[in-house]
Amino acid sequence: MANLEVDFCGVRFKNPLAAASAEPTLNAANMKKCIDAGAGAVIAKTMTDSPAMRELTTRAKWRFLNDKHEVCRGKVPRSFSLYSRSGLALEPPAEFMKEIRETVRYAEENNAVVIGSIGSVELDGWVELGKQMEDGGVPLIELNFGCPHPKLMPGVRTGMNVGQDFDYACEITNAVAQAVKVPIIIKVTPQVTDLVQFSGMLKDAGAGAVTLTNRFIGFVPDIETGKPLIYGKAGIGGPWTKPLTLRWINEVRATFGNDLPITGTNGAYDWRDIVMFIMSGASVVQMCSAVMCYGYEWLEKQVKGLELFMDEKGYGTIEDMLGIATDSAIEYSQMPPEKASVDAEVCKDCGMCLKACFSEAMQQGDGNVYVREENCVGCGGCYSVCPVKGAIEINPY
């Protein structure tokens, strides 16, 4: 049986699945449900000294959107978007720390890890919140430099507003790292130019790991009313973002290897995605949107799915999968030459490949589709649209 344990920044996780910082981890009661469902870790809702960000959570709104970016109203597709307005933890720090201590005790009894999350509006506040979290018994602290909602709140400088100012973010990182003994993780926004450069700066400033990445800011009109959904701009993420998130995990992993551990979030829907995140380079995978849609039991299903996959494929440990896709990636110039081939006995002559070929390689003659090899560049468009398995293959030549 596969061993799902992970060593992350010196902290042992029983499995790599973490419930991300959001409404499912809003308080001790919610975090206990994540732990009961089998999550290896929970990241608490971000504790803040900003009254504005706490108050915003009392008016939180979210919608699950389909591929037309309309409210689902029933069956939620796999590639849904989570469009939301929310804030940070509801309670002031002194009160929220009671939730943290209660959850830490419960986690210790149930072989789980609690990661504290903090977000302040000034440098000294970040340090103070970090100290409080450490005193509460958490073994890791995540600094939230990625939350999109403060960007939509005039005068509130936390979350994404910090993450887009590299120098200020590094100043905060260094100050907190100097003030606490536990490792700190920096959760970054994807809405910057270069997360590889930023990750390196954060590492030099004292970060023990990075979380890649928080959500984007979006805007979705309702064409029936002519008004925006949930009143205006909002944070947007969900399974559709997975390739964008994995791109940054790939690049940070390729640059820093094991010297900068990564937790991945924004796009993980099920156990298949957990595998993709790990193969890209994330040791721990955070899940949020799917849990908000399907409930806490979703977490248990994904842990079981991951274990079954690893057993089937012969992966003994998470380390066996970590970064293997990134490590085998090659540059454009290194790609081998390939061409398409058609199995005339299997081909149904539907013509889909003809529409998808823009180099005049796919040809039709004598009732059969064939490949004009001198024109074929092996792009794979024909292979992608062909509805019959085995009719078209892409092969090296």
> What is the percent of the chain where pLDDT is above 90?
98
pLDDT at 365: 84
Question: Would the CA dihedral through 170, 173, 178, 179 be positive or negative?
Answer: positive
Tokens of 46: 């971000």
Separation in Å, CA 163 to CA 118, 133, 167, 271: 13, 21, 9, 29
Distance CA 101, CA 297 (A): 24
Separation in Å, CA 284 to CA 15, 132, 201, 298: 8, 24, 21, 17
pLDDT at 121: 97
What confidence tens digit (pLDDT) does each residue in 162-187 have?
999 999 999 999 999 999 999 999 99
Q: How many CB atoms sit inside 10 A of residue 36's CB?
A: 15
Tokens of 112: 């789980």
| C-beta of residue 81 within 8 angstroms of C-beta of residue 62 | no
pLDDT(366) > 90? no
Mean pLDDT of 67-93: 96
Give yes or no on whether 6-327 and 336-396 have one common fold: no
Q: Which stretches within the chain are classed as H helix?
A: 28-36, 51-57, 93-109, 123-135, 160-163, 166-179, 195-205, 242-256, 271-280, 289-294, 297-313, 324-327, 352-356, 381-385
* CATH code, residues 6-327: 3.20.20.70
pLDDT at 211: 98
Which residue in 62, 90, 72 sits closest to 218, CA to CA? Answer: 62
For residue 53, what pLDDT band results from cuts at 50, 70 and 90? very high
What confidence tens digit (pLDDT) does each residue in 294-346 have?
999 999 999 999 999 999 999 999 999 999 999 999 999 999 999 999 999 99
Domain extent listing, the chain: 6-327, 336-396
Mean pLDDT of 16-43: 98
Strands 81-85 and 61-65: antiparallel
Strands 209-212 and 262-264: parallel
Burial of 244 (0-12, 13-18, 19+ CB in 10 A): middle
Q: How many CB atoms sit inside 10 A of residue 153's CB?
A: 17
Distance CA 77, CA 133 (A): 37
Read off φ and ψ for residue 101, nearest 5 degrees: -60, -40
> What is the percent of the chain where pLDDT is above 70?
100
* CATH number for domain 336-396, candidates 3.30.70.20, 3.40.50.1000, 1.25.40.10, 1.10.730.10: 3.30.70.20
User: pTM score > 0.95 for this model?
Assistant: yes
pLDDT(213) > 90? yes
pLDDT at 368: 85
